[in-house]
Chains A and B, each alone.
Chain A
Amino acid sequence: MNEVIDFKKIIIDKFEDFKLNFNGSGTSFLDLIRKDALENFSSLKFPTPKDEEWRFTNISPLLKFNFNPLSEEPEIDLKKIDKLKLKDSFKNRIVFVDGIFSYGLSELNGLAKTIKIESLTSAIGNNNELFKLHFNKYADYSRNIFTALNTAYGKDGAFIFIPDNKIIEEPVFVLFISTSEHNQSLIQPRNLFIAGKNSQATIVEQYVSLEENIYFTNAITEIVVGENANLSHLKIQEESRSAFHISRTEVNQGRNSSYESVSISLGAEISRDEISCRFDAEGGECTLNGLYLIDSSQLHDTHTMIDHAKPYCNSHEHFKGILDGKSRGVFNGKVMVRPNAQKTNAFQENNNIILSSEALVNTKPQLEIFADDVKCSHGATIGQIDDESMFYLKSRGIGEETARTILIHAFASDVVKSIKVETVKNYLEEILDKRFNKES
């Protein structure tokens, strides 16, 4: 108990120091938001398994550490960074090291004339109007302690604005690298992506660590998809196995817009992804796919919420889990269909494969449907690798290990196929190969 109070106290105490480095200086609107957020943080409590939304996700291990919210300039080990496979696959990238924008590692010139990619610090400094219009409008902190924490302290992240009618073929890569330099850092990226009317773009987010160190990433991404815009979003979470990762993505969709996301979760001791999409007008399409691959004592929690606030929208969720060791998986998919949201189509599925006798998954669909002319369905499965399928493969001469790998790949295949960025797809397939095929 005392440990938890210390953590909160440190956060609150350090705020004074933080204020001195406020990059919101001169931007009173941000100062006010931050102070208010901190007050909320102070009065809110960290969730426990007694809270319905955290019933299967016990974060007390996280609270034992006095994470430091004040960012310090990290030392960049270029040799280790060069080993990161995806970094050089993208011509347009914005890179953050321990939460701080790295000009040296980023490549922003390619698309400079077409879209706006800026670090948040810079957007705030430039008093960007669009930023002020949308920042903090979607991720409410009044009842979410992690959001309050990020809003109070978050000072950097990616601000990406795709202007009306712009179609961007090349994906934009947003890379968050954590180094080993400052153990127990609290890294709080705050992103804002805005897709203008009729625009089209792909954003790839990756969280990686150079060492197996302990830190806490508390990330928030607010996304606005404009009318008839098409935004594709890939997120690959490969934090250190000892780290904690809590992320919240809030998406607001305009008329006839399309948002497609694929979330791949591989690292962290405890990770929780909260993804929330709200249809703000008719005709929206929202596709959320995900794959979590956990083993040892990892815990992964995906909580989604799709708000069919308007009629004629379609949502499609498909999350798959592969669990080994003593890992724990949690899936909770909420779909809310409001009374006026007629002609809604909402489809949700969560499939899990358990590879060991001690892994466990808790899956719960929650559909609240208040309109009557809708099509909604949900399904969840938890199973093991099929014996019959294994025998079939073996009867063709395929050995045990290879057969298992083939079937695990097959299980993950539809999520993998939904990744339209070829480099990321291959990257993931390599990871699956290495993880399960010990022979190669």
Chain B
Amino acid sequence: MLQIKNLHVNVEGKEILKGINLNVNAGEVHAIMGPNGSGKSTLAQTLAGKQEYDVTKGEVLFEGKNLLDLSPEDRAREGIFLAFQYPVELPGVSNTNLLKTALNEIRKYRGLEAIDTMEFLSMIKNKMKLVELEQSLLSRAVNEGFSGGEKKRNEIFQMAVLEPKLAILDETDSGLDIDALRIVANGVNKLKTKDNATIVVTHYQRLLDYIVPDFVHVLYKGKIVKSGGKELALELEEKGYDWLKEDMMEVQA
């Protein structure tokens, strides 16, 4: 589904991603771990199409299409969803309005008709239960006055409504207590199908106890330095990132 080939990305003139190679197939969960500053969020946001991030080299194919040529909205319409690490507050924009507009734009892009209002309302009410969000949140402004946990759950709720092919969770676990974490992970797991895929960007192994990955990749200084199965996450948890740095230095030496 997703093929990243030798991706180099500059942010404010500085090279952050130094040649990323990654393949994600339908039905898979990939975890991207790494110490702070390794480029995890940069990778996530680059895939979503953040303008300020400069792709200097490399290629990204999504379902055979050149992703880097598409605008952020077209990437979303093709089926990519980014759950933000720090979801922005949108005073004056209701959650309902955002979702209905987004869903209809995606449907229009795919040649479908706009969704009927009643059908839409009953659909989103069901999906809210997935992440245990209060119904009253629907009429409120997006993320305004939401707690950290509510903001992250709102991201997953949006994901549930928009049904992406590839979901990228950018440190969705940061700032969450264990209960919120469980709810979020539960939601993500329920949305997994054999046809969609998930990239979980995380610093801590803890989330991966709940969202069990098929593949774990470690990002260090802009490169994927190690890949493995879910045991790799446990090894990292045990030994810390320093172990990897030593490992790398040995290789270089």
Interface size on A, residues (CB 8 A): 24
Question: Measured between C-beta atoms, what is the minimum distance from B11 to chain A in Å?
Answer: 14
The answer to whether A396 touches B93 (Cβ under 8 A) is no
When the two chains form the complex, which single residue of A394, A400, A413 contacts B76, counting CB atoms closer than 8 Å?
A394
Q: Which residues of A contact B48 (CB under 8 A)?
A: 391, 395
Question: Measured between C-beta atoms, what is the minimum distance from B94 to chain A in Å?
Answer: 9
Which of B49, B87, B90 has the most CB atoms of chain A within a 10 A radius of its CB? B90
Question: Measured between C-beta atoms, what is the minimum distance from A235 to chain B in Å?
Answer: 22
Chain B: CB-nearest residue to A412: B92
Q: At the interface, yes or no: A392 with Cβ under 8 Å from chain B? A: yes
Q: At the interface, yes or no: B106 with Cβ under 8 Å from chain A? A: yes
Chain A 363-407 per-residue mask, 1 if CB under 8 angstroms from chain B, else 0: 000000000000000000000001111011111111110110011
Q: At the interface, yes or no: B121 with Cβ under 8 Å from chain A? A: no
Q: At the interface, yes or no: A409 with Cβ under 8 Å from chain B? A: yes
Q: At the interface, yes or no: A54 with Cβ under 8 Å from chain B? A: no
When the two chains form the complex, which single residue of A395, A402, A414 contacts B92, counting CB atoms closer than 8 Å?
A414
The answer to whether A395 touches B71 (Cβ under 8 A) is no
The answer to whether B101 touches A395 (Cβ under 8 A) is no
The answer to whether B88 touches A396 (Cβ under 8 A) is no
The answer to whether B92 touches A392 (Cβ under 8 A) is no
The answer to whether B93 touches A388 (Cβ under 8 A) is no
When the two chains form the complex, which single residue of B49, B51, B81, B102 contacts A398, counting CB atoms closer than 8 Å?
B102
Which of A387, A400, A402, A410 has the most CB atoms of chain B within a 10 A radius of its CB? A410
Q: Which residues of A contact B71 (CB under 8 A)?
A: 394, 400
The answer to whether B49 touches A409 (Cβ under 8 A) is no
Q: At the interface, yes or no: B158 with Cβ under 8 Å from chain A? A: yes
Q: At the interface, yes or no: B243 with Cβ under 8 Å from chain A? A: no
When the two chains form the complex, which single residue of A387, A397, A406, A414 contacts B93, counting CB atoms closer than 8 Å?
A406
User: Which chain A residues (296-355) contact chain B, with CB distance < 8 Å?
Assistant: none
Q: Which residues of A contact B141 (CB under 8 A)?
A: 410
The answer to whether B97 touches A398 (Cβ under 8 A) is no
A400 to B90, CA, bound (A): 16
A389 to B141, CA, bound (A): 13
When the two chains form the complex, which single residue of B73, B75, B92, B103 contacts A399, counting CB atoms closer than 8 Å?
B73
A403 to B106, CA, bound (A): 14
Q: At the interface, yes or no: A411 with Cβ under 8 Å from chain B? A: yes
The answer to whether A395 touches B72 (Cβ under 8 A) is yes
Chain A: CB-nearest residue to B91: A410
- Assess A392 versus B105: contact at CB under 8 Å? Given A397-B77, A399-B73, A406-B97: no
Q: Which residues of A contact B60 (CB under 8 A)?
A: none
The answer to whether A395 touches B97 (Cβ under 8 A) is no
Q: At the interface, yes or no: B98 with Cβ under 8 Å from chain A? A: yes
The answer to whether A397 touches B98 (Cβ under 8 A) is no
The answer to whether B87 touches A392 (Cβ under 8 A) is yes
Question: Measured between C-beta atoms, what is the minimum distance from A402 to chain B in Å?
Answer: 6
Question: Measured between C-beta atoms, what is the minimum distance from A130 to chain B in Å?
Answer: 42
Q: Which residues of A contact B102 (CB under 8 A)?
A: 393, 396-398
Please report A residues at the B interface, Cβ cutoff 8 Å.
Answer: 386-389, 391-400, 402-403, 406-407, 409-414
With A389-B88, A396-B81, A402-B101 given, name 12 new contacts (CB 8 A): A393-B98, A393-B102, A394-B72, A395-B72, A395-B73, A395-B76, A396-B99, A397-B162, A398-B73, A398-B98, A398-B102, A406-B97
Top 8 nearest A-B pairs by Cβ distance? A410-B92, A413-B92, A397-B76, A396-B102, A394-B72, A394-B73, A397-B106, A410-B93
- Sampled A-B contacts (28; CB under 8 Å): A386-B88, A387-B51, A388-B88, A391-B50, A391-B72, A392-B88, A393-B98, A393-B102, A394-B49, A394-B72, A394-B76, A395-B48, A395-B49, A395-B73, A395-B76, A395-B82, A396-B99, A397-B109, A398-B101, A398-B102, A399-B105, A400-B73, A406-B98, A406-B101, A409-B92, A409-B93, A410-B90, A410-B92
